[in-house]
Amino acid sequence: MRWTRGYRSGQVEDRRAYGGGGGGMSAAGIGLLGWLFTRFGLPGLLIGGAVLYFMSGGLGGGSDSASIDPSQQPAVASDPAEDEAVQFVSFVLDDVQKTWTDEFAKNNQRYPLARLVLFRGRTQSGCGTGSAMSGPFYCPTDQRVYIDLSFYDELRQRFGAPGDFAQAYVIAHEIGHHVQHLLGLTERVHNAARGDRQGEDSASVRLELQADCLAGVWARSTDQRKLLEEGDIQEALTAAAAIGDDRLQKQSTGTVSPESWTHGSSEQRMRWFKRGFTEGSLQRCDTFAADVL
What would the pLDDT profile of 156-186 be if each residue is shown by its tens digit?
A: 999 999 999 999 999 999 999 999 999 999 9
139-148 average pLDDT score? 97
Do the domain assignments include residue 282? yes
d(CA 146, CA 71): 18
Out of 57-61, 84-88, 162-166, 193-197, least confident range: 57-61
- Are 154 and 257 within 8 A, CB to CB? no
Do the domain assignments include residue 6? no
Strands 128-131 and 137-139: unpaired
Do the domain assignments include residue 5? no
Strands 144-147 and 137-139: antiparallel
- Are 127 and 62 within 8 A, CB to CB? no
> What would the pLDDT profile of 67-83 be if each residue is shown by its tens digit?
445 455 566 767 899 99
Sequence-distant (6+) residues with CB within 8 A of 201 are: 293
Of the pLDDT bands very low, low, confident and very high (cuts 50, 70, 90), residue 107 is very high
Do the domain assignments include residue 1? no
Domain limits at 125?
12-289
257 vs 190, more confident: 257
CA atoms within 13 A on the CB side of 226: 0
Do the domain assignments include residue 2? no
Do the domain assignments include residue 207? yes
Which residues is 146 bridged to in the sheet? 117, 137
- List of long-range contacts for 97-103, beta carbons under 8 Å, 24+ apart: 97/11, 97/175, 99/217, 99/218, 99/221, 100/175, 100/179, 100/218, 103/217, 103/282
Does this model's pTM top 0.85? My answer is no
The H-assigned helical ranges of 19-122 are: 27-40, 43-54, 80-106
Task: Tell me the residue length of the chain.
Answer: 293
- Is residue 124's pLDDT more than 70? yes
Instruction: Specify the number of domains making up the chain.
Output: 1
Do the domain assignments include residue 60? yes
Of the pLDDT bands very low, low, confident and very high (cuts 50, 70, 90), residue 112 is very high
d(CA 53, CA 20): 20
- Is residue 56's pLDDT more than 90? no
Strands 122-125 and 128-131: antiparallel
Of the pLDDT bands very low, low, confident and very high (cuts 50, 70, 90), residue 231 is very high
pLDDT of residue 198: 86
